[in-house]
């Protein structure tokens, strides 16, 4: 065991990365390491990188150059998707000592434990991610945000959308064993968590790599049986993975929260075809409207890319109009970012940076109006809220359909974090609903 050694972490990108950082962190703490803030002096700095956009690449490089400012004798290890796809490039950064790809992420622990015996030269620990055929188990991470905990159920993606670099960083779709997922859910319930969020790179592909027949819907039917867990959220879904059985399960199991984050990307058929998405606008409308017809108060959030190569103004406007018609409580809008080794990087008819920026701002403005309408329709209604924090002016939490709610701190009102309460919605302040507990 390595006592008195300090380690600092910095995580970029998605919830999967954050989950994996927590696993590494927990293991090192058990081995006797002390976690310190990234700005403090540490013996080791671990940066878990993202490469979903060029901005994510730049952020990773900037963070790595900051790493040794507090201790120039420290060792800096970069892992994650950018490390997997651009390991040699990262080694050119003076501050970087080791590059460990996603294919070897679990080896970060052994590297740190044995680093004193290694040479001072920088080097790469990196295998071919596409040779990974099975899901690698991590130590239970208990990655949490407020009163929610995350469970990773799947890694990788087989889709190879034309704009996306992530399969090169994550490899083929690999599913976690069902019994291990259920075991982690039970452990979280024993620790007092009521809400869990299922995360992965392509959740709807869960089970497709297993020899035995098992699906994401099978997993949902098993995980709702875990006692103590009262809220189950689904991290992200592709529209084409929303099938009739999925709708029935959501409809018939109140533990599954009436909210979905949709990996949408566009609402224009020509753009979706260029992106190599496996659906068009008719499917989007059919699946999302079917859910609305069957599940009370369901709300959607989504990711959207604007300025994809060949996207004309007319295509953009048609996408914006359908997005407005469907109605989302939140949109994450991304200007198209060209990624090396992707098919879209070879496409002609590039949209100018200025136009991509304009469309992103325009869609965000449109989204704010739609989001306001989504929230205002709940004024006068009662929503069930899980309390996540207390501030001077009230309690805060999320409704079942993932709307942030401020519970007005009336005289003698006493709530605890992790309480579930019914809240009568009385107002709307930008992206926040306000109300009183009943």
Q: pLDDT, tens digit, for every residue of 160-199?
A: 999 999 999 999 999 999 999 999 999 999 999 999 999 9
Mean pLDDT of 194-219: 95
- Confidence band of 116 (pLDDT split at 50, 70, 90): low
User: CA 80 to CA 51: how far, in whole Å?
Assistant: 9
pLDDT of the residue at 185: 95
Mean pLDDT of 55-73: 92
Mean pLDDT of 155-164: 96
* Cross-strand bridge partners of residue 385: 399, 421
Domains 130-235 and 262-277+288-376 equal at CATH topology level: yes
- CATH class belonging to 262-277+288-376: alpha beta
Neighbour tally for 164: CB within 10 Å: 20
Mean pLDDT of 314-325: 97
Q: Residue 144 pLDDT more than 80?
A: no
Q: Determine phi and psi for 40, rounding to 5 degrees.
A: -85, 170
What are the DSSP calls for 59-120, one per residue? Answer: HHHHHHHHGGGS-TTSEEEEEEHHHHHSHHHHHTSTT--EEE-GGGGGGHHHHHHTGGGS-S
Residue spans of the domains in the chain: they are 6-127, 130-235, 262-277+288-376, 382-437
Q: pLDDT, tens digit, for every residue of 53-62?
A: 999 999 999 9
Q: pLDDT, tens digit, for every residue of 241-281?
A: 999 999 999 999 999 999 999 999 999 999 999 999 999 99
Mean pLDDT of 368-380: 95
Closest residue by Cα to residue 132 from 159, 105, 112: 105
For the domain spanning 130-235, the CATH number is 3.30.750.210
Q: pLDDT, tens digit, for every residue of 19-29?
A: 999 999 989 99
Return the CATH number of 6-127, one of 3.20.20.70, 1.10.357.10, 3.30.930.10, 3.40.50.12160. 3.40.50.12160
Q: Residue 122 pLDDT more than 80?
A: no
The pTM (predicted TM-score) of the whole model is 0.92
Mean pLDDT of 292-308: 97
Contact 8, 45 (CB under 8 A): yes
- Confidence band of 414 (pLDDT split at 50, 70, 90): confident
The mean of the pLDDT values for the chain is 92
Q: Residue 13 pLDDT more than 60?
A: yes
The CATH fold assigned to 382-437 is OB fold (Dihydrolipoamide Acetyltransferase, E2P) (2.40.50)
User: CA 13 to CA 60: how far, in whole Å?
Assistant: 10
Contact 6, 44 (CB under 8 A): yes
């Amino acid at each position: 065991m390595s006592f008195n050694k300090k380690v600092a972490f910095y995580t970029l990108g998605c919830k999967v990365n954050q989950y994996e950082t927590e696993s590494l962190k927990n293991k090192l703490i058990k081995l006797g390491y002390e976690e310190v803030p990234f700005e403090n002096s540490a013996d080791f700095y671990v940066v878990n990188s993202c490469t979903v956009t060029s901005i994510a690449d730049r952020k990773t490089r900037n963070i790595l150059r900051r790493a040794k400012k507090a201790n120039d004798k420290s060792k800096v290890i970069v892992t994650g998707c950018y490390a997997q796809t651009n390991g040699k490039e990262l080694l050119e950064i003076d501050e970087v000592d080791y590059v460990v790809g996603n294919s070897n992420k679990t080896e970060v622990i052994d590297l740190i434990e044995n680093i004193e015996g290694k040479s001072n030269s920088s080097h790469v620990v990196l295998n071919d991610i596409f040779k990974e055929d099975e899901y690698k188990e991590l130590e239970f991470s208990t990655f949490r945000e407020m009163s929610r905990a995350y469970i990773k159920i799947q890694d990788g993606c087989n889709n190879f959308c034309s704009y996306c670099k992530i399969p090169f960083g994550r490899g083929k779709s690999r599913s976690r064993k069902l019994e291990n997922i259920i075991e982690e859910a039970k452990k979280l319930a024993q620790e007092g968590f009521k809400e869990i969020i299922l995360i992965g790179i392509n959740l709807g592909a869960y089970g497709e790599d297993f020899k035995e027949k098992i699906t994401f819907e099978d997993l949902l039917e098993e995980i709702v049986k875990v006692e103590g867990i009262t809220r189950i959220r689904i991290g992200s879904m592709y529209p084409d993975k929303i099938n009739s059985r999925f709708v029935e399960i959501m409809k018939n199991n109140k533990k599954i929260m009436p909210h979905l984050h949709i990996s949408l990307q566009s609402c224009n058929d020509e753009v979706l075809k260029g992106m190599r998405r496996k659906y068009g606008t008719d499917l989007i409308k059919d699946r999302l409207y079917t859910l609305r017809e069957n599940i009370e108060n369901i709300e959607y959030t989504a990711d959207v890319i604007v300025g994809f190569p060949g996207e004309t103004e007319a295509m953009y406007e048609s996408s914006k109009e359908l997005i407005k018609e469907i109605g989302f409580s939140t949109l994450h809008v991304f200007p198209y970012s060209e990624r090396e080794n992707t098919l879209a990087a070879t496409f002609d008819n590039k949209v100018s940076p200025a136009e991509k920026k304009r469309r992103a701002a325009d869609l965000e403005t449109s989204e704010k109006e739609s989001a306001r309408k989504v929230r205002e329709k709940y004024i006068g209604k009662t929503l069930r809220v899980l309390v996540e924090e207390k501030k001077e002016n009230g309690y805060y939490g999320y409704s079942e359909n993932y709307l942030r709610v401020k519970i007005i701190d009336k005289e003698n009102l006493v709530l605890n974090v992790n309480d579930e309460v019914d809240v009568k919605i009385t107002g709307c302040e930008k992206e926040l609903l306000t109300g009183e507990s009943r």
